[in-house]
Amino acid sequence: MTHVRYDILRMVRNRAFLALTLALPLVLFLSVASGQRHATHDGVGFPLYFMTAMAVYGAMFAVISPGARIARDRASGWTRQMRITPLRIRADFAAKVLTAYLLALPTLALLYLAGAALGVHLGATQWLKLTGLLLVGLVPLVVLGLALGYLLPVDALTPALGGIVVLLALLGGVYGFQLATSGPMFDVMKALPSYWLVQAGKAAIAGGGWPAEAWIVVAAWTIVLIPVAAVVYRRSTSRI
């Protein structure tokens, strides 16, 4: 418990990081969506689409960010000091997952408030369904953050995390347009969790939830990434 508490405290104390993570998607949403309150996109109102997209964008950054903290701790050499204590891999991963979601939740909440202010109307179950799908769809991103944090040196990590999120966002349709709606490119997009994250808004409105394909994509990414994260965790004890 102490481990979790200090992990959260260390994240919260990193003020500049916290402010940027929370503010960036919010500012993007307000500046783009306020001029297109009455437009529609991909079958739903643009504010809802873009609110979901920016929530996904912000939350992806939030949940992948523990990777940066992990890489910094490794670079400092203290990770090796932790590794010779009885701290278990599960407890360490659990703490990182918890901090990831603790940062994602206010990111979502701020976007929801901004969306409501621009006229997004959803029923209580729709809000809940949207949130639930987003939290589930973020799981592979959380694990990816862990794996990269234990794998990459700290100076490579910032561009790697940023680049991956931007790429996933672009292919997932986060920026307000889709690169393709059919063909091989569309197949690639549909194989990414970010695509289904963006689709969560539409799914929540339609009431039907995700298609089976979405659940399979999210589960497959998670199942592949967890052992990768465990292996790089165990290997990350060499002297840096």
Partner 1 sequence: MTQSNDHTGGIVLTSLSKSYGSVRAVRSIDLQIAPGETVALLGPNGAGKTTTIDMVLGLTRPDSGSISLFGMTPAQAVAAGAVGGMLQTGSPLDHMKVRELVSLMASYYPHPLDVGDALRRTGAAEFAGQWTTKLSGGQAQRVRFAAALVGDADLLLLDEPTAGIDVEGRREFWQAMRAVAGRGKTVVFATHYLEEADAFADRIVLMSHGRIVADGPATEIKARAAARTIRGTLPGADLAGLVALPGVAAADRHGDTIILSCSDSDAALRPLLGAFPEIRDIEVGGGSLEEAFLELTAADKLDPEVVR
Interface with partner 1 (CB under 8 A): 1-3, 6, 9-10, 13-14, 72-73, 76-78, 80-88, 237-240
Closest CA to 29 of 71, 64, 59, 63: 59
Nearer to partner 1, 1 or 124 (CB): 1
Nearer to partner 1, 17 or 175 (CB): 17
Provide, rounded to whole angstroms, the least separation between the CB of residue 226 and partner 1: 20
Provide, rounded to whole angstroms, the least separation between the CB of residue 90 and partner 1: 12
Taking the C-alpha atoms of residue 103 and residue 24, their distance in angstroms, rounded to an integer, is 13
Provide, rounded to whole angstroms, the least separation between the CB of residue 119 and partner 1: 39
Provide, rounded to whole angstroms, the least separation between the CB of residue 85 and partner 1: 4
Taking the C-alpha atoms of residue 42 and residue 173, their distance in angstroms, rounded to an integer, is 10
Taking the C-alpha atoms of residue 155 and residue 72, their distance in angstroms, rounded to an integer, is 9
Nearer to partner 1, 76 or 125 (CB): 76
Nearer to partner 1, 87 or 206 (CB): 87
* Pair of tokens at residue 157: 């990590």
